[in-house]
Amino acid sequence: MASTTGQVIRCKAAVSWEAGKPLVMEEVEVAPPQAMEVRIKVLFTSLCHTDVYFWEAKGQTPLFPRIFGHEASGIVESVGEGVKELQPGDHVLPVFTGECKECRHCKSEESNMCDLLRINTDRGVMLNDNRSRFSINGKPIYHFLGTSTFSEYTVVHVGCVAKINPAAPLDKVCVLSCGISTGLGATLNVAKPKPGQSVAIFGLGAVGLAAAEGARMSGASRIIGIDLNPNRFDEAKKFGVTEFVNPKDHSKPIQEVIAEMTDGGVDRSVECTGNINAMISAFECVHDGWGVAVLVGVPNKDDAFKTHPMNLLNERTLKGTFFGNFKPRTDIPGVVEKYMNKELELEKFITHELPFSEINKAFDYMLQGAGLRCIIHMGE
């Protein structure tokens, strides 16, 4: 690999030229990493709903042409000036948010919202020089979330790269660089259910099922799944979900249904839909005195959260989380170890696999709501 150090690499990338149109396989030029950057050979990537959302250009400033992708695994090809903790050959997960290790957030044990490298959906260039590392015939192709993993090679800021155990199978742990860690951490790091407690999970997509997996790992006695799609209920049993509630089956608010099922409310709830009414229900369904509700889903920009202040005064706690409160470089290697130690099961999240040449099929699966995670094999 060292022979390409310092040189432009030509490789295949799936380029999005315009919103909502199929990605086009192109030969792109990937410039060498600059100071505090790492060039990664991407081996596996998976599609997350966030990629689809921005590909459809919903609710943000559209930026095209662009290389999407942010859930991935790979091997460091070369490093830029000033990079000390990574070297060529290291196995890594690129992450859509970062950890500079210098700012107030990074130095705080309570936060993972790095001032320098926190998620930025509008930026399409590198921080170092405000330029893209991707081009076709001299024309820049924009980055996405600082990762752009739908390319055989990508350049990422060192603060957004988690170095992991080289024995970990990259085709499995790639899913830990976004959605699965988000849901898992929401339960393990924020809701923190105690063994024997009850947990309600709102939304049984990949993130919600990862939150359920966290409840299972915590020893929760009851894990209640809430979803409008009854087809998701059988799948959810694999993740420890013990009971199912479909709001369509009830005439009263779902928080009242759950309170009746649980003698006054669940001990913990995790909301993974982004629907404002589900957020309110998730909060109002926890037990007074000790109940904790955690919001994970991203709401619409005009939403407002409304509840009576007495719900808080009666000692319910409402929390939010970003990326499951995991610090990318410090904590994600430990999540990989949970998988290696067989505490965390990842195989059940992977429902489809495709060669890179068929990446558009992964978008079709996501738009149809089919499966959880589709692994894309970059070398094929």
State the catalytic residues. Answer: 48-50, 70-71, 100, 103, 106, 114, 118, 178, 373
Cis previous bond, 65, omega within 30: yes
Question: DSSP label at 186?
Answer: I
Say how far apart CA 307 and CA 255 lie, in whole Å.
12
Contact by Cβ (8 Å): 108, 126? no
**Strand stretches in 53-132, DSSP E:** 71-79, 91-94
CB-CB neighbours of 247 under 10 Å: 16
Dihedrals φ, ψ of 37, to 5°? Answer: -120, 160
The amino acid present at 21, given as its one-letter code, is K
Q: Which residue's entry shows tokens 């410039």? A: 31
Question: DSSP label at 66?
Answer: B
Please list the alpha-helical segments (H only) found in the chain. Answer: 49-55, 104-107, 170-173, 179-185, 206-218, 232-237, 254-261, 276-284, 310-313, 328-340, 359-368
* 24-30 β-sheet, strand order: 9-15, 24-30, 134-136, 139-141
Which two three-digit tokens encode residue 95?
């992450």
Q: How many CA atoms lie within 13 A of 273 on its CB side?
A: 20
List, in order, residues 6 or more apart from 277 with CB less than 8 Å away: none
